[in-house]
Amino acid sequence: MRKTSNAIHLLATLLLITACDEKQTAQVEQPLRPVRTIVASATDGITGRDFPGIVIAENKADLSFRVSGKLKELLIKEGDKVKQGQILARLDQTDFKIALEDKQASYIKAKANFTRSAKLIEPGHISQREFDQIKATYSTSSAHLKAAKQNLIYTELKAPFDGSITKTYVDNFEEVLGKGKIATLQDLKSMEIEIDVPESLMIRVRRGQNNRAIHARFDAIKGEEFPLTFREISTQADETTHAYKLRFALPTIENYTILPGMTATVVADSVPTVDQDSSKNEIIIPAHAVMEDNRGRYVFIAEPEISSPTTGVVHRRDVTTSRLTNSGLIITSGIHPADLVITAGMSKMQEGLRVRLMVDIELLGQQP
């Protein structure tokens, strides 16, 4: 009986010790998991963005003959400077002169027939129908003669404006087709820079605004920027890229040779947008911060606690995305500027989890 009592007492003591250990274990606070975050930033999509541009001549023309034939004289070479009206190339005119003589003879004959028939129609020696046919033949021969004269003129290729020959495409004695490129003429005194702007950014540009600080940079000209003046914009997007072309006038750059085809970087310092409310602007975050499940795409944000700005509570936010850019993935809805977006360890996050924030405390003051 005494042995049974001792056993019961020992068992009770062990249970009490175990309960105390469990209580002490429960009271030990687990360390918070550190998370890396970034502050979501809003952008109007254009301000401060770099656009690759290409230098083009303000006046440029791909020159071609309007008729086909054998190239007899190519009077230019690449790099030549030419004046407006200067003959650049000439086709063999032999066949064109023969054709002109043939049309001339046909015209003389048709004119003579028309003159005689005009005197015979009133006395009734020929019918009105015959006269109409003779008159039509005369009109047709006159048109053919004019075309033959014009084709002979077209055998000479002339410069439409002053400029420089930047490229030639044929050699002497080649057979060339009408409208086939012979040379490219550019006016190198006046240059422009052309950029492509995606439609998603183009739609945000406010029309009628000229107070845009836009300048160009050249990699080979270190430390210098050149102001640009807006010139024109295409109203039709490219069918392949869905981008709109913008052109800017480039001022004359002293001590440097700027030629068509050179590349530049165009920077828009300030571009007014349709909606100036920053809460409706685009937000760009790293693409790897966006996850996806059967509910769609989402991110985890950390909401700082009032008691301690270095700790926060994790929340899931479903988001709508636009396109991927060099700066990151554009978020169109779901998060707001100054939200702390978790960028590492997302697979271990869950709703309501307390975490330690790895972000500059100064940035937390930006949160609305």
Q: What's residue 306's pLDDT?
A: 85
The total number of structural domains in the chain stands at 3
Report yes or no on 9 lying in a domain: no
Based on the fold, state whether residues 223 and 251 are members of the same structural domain. yes
Based on the fold, state whether residues 179 and 194 are members of the same structural domain. no
User: How far apart, in whole angstroms, are the C-alpha atoms of residue 130 and residue 115?
Assistant: 13
CATH number at residue 107: 2.40.50.100
- Taking only the tens of pLDDT, the chain with its 368 residues reads 455 555 555 555 655 555 555 555 444 556 888 888 888 876 555 555 678 999 999 999 999 999 999 999 999 999 999 999 999 999 999 999 999 999 999 999 999 999 999 889 888 888 999 999 999 999 999 999 999 999 999 999 999 999 999 999 999 999 999 999 999 999 998 999 999 988 766 765 655 455 567 889 999 898 899 999 988 888 888 888 888 899 999 998 988 999 999 999 998 764 444 444 443 456 888 888 899 999 999 999 999 888 887 888 999 999 988 877 666 788 888 898 888 899 888 888 889 899 888 754 444 434 43
Report yes or no on 3 lying in a domain: no
Based on the fold, state whether residues 175 and 198 are members of the same structural domain. no
Helix 94-120 × helix 128-153 angle, to 10°: 160
Domain of 217, in residue numbers:
50-58+190-270
Based on the fold, state whether residues 175 and 71 are members of the same structural domain. yes
Cα distances from 228 to residues 39, 53, 164, 235, in angstroms, run 33, 12, 24, 20
Closest by alpha carbon to 332, among 208, 195, 203, 197?
A: 203
CB 40 within 8 A of CB 281: no
| Residue pointed to by tokens 């033949």 | 137
Residue that terminates a domain, selected from 165, 185, 205: 185
Residue that terminates a domain, selected from 223, 246, 270: 270
Residue that terminates a domain, selected from 214, 249, 270: 270
- Running DSSP on this structure, what letter comes out for residue 27? H
Based on the fold, state whether residues 79 and 170 are members of the same structural domain. yes
Residues in CB range of 164: below 8 A, 6 or more apart = 79, 80, 81, 82, 185, 186, 187, 188
Report yes or no on 17 lying in a domain: no
Q: What's residue 271's pLDDT?
A: 43
Report yes or no on 24 lying in a domain: no
Report yes or no on 21 lying in a domain: no
User: How far apart, in whole angstroms, are the C-alpha atoms of residue 311 and residue 317?
Assistant: 19
Q: What's residue 326's pLDDT?
A: 63
CB 349 within 8 A of CB 342: yes
Report yes or no on 93 lying in a domain: yes
